[in-house]
Amino acid sequence: MVPDDPGVSARPGLDDTPRIEASGVWPISGHPNRLAAVDELDDIPDVRDGLTRLQRIVLVELQRARAELGRESVPTALLYGRVVERVSISEERFQEILRSLGAGPKV
Asked whether residue 38 is domain-assigned, the answer is yes
pLDDT digits (tens, 9 = 90+) for 42-96: 778 888 889 999 999 999 999 999 999 999 999 999 999 999 999 889 999 999 9
Whether the full predicted model's pTM is greater than 0.85, yes or no, is: no
Split into its structural domains, the chain has a count of 1
Structural domain contains residue 107: no
The answer to whether residue 11 is domain-embedded is: no
Among candidates 43, 39, 33, which has minimal Cα distance to 85? Answer: 33
**Is residue 42 situated within a structural domain?**
yes
Q: What is the pLDDT of residue 7?
A: 52
In which region does residue 22 sit, left (phi positive, over 0), alpha (psi from -120 to 50) or beta (all else)?
beta
Q: Which domain holds residue 82?
A: 23-100
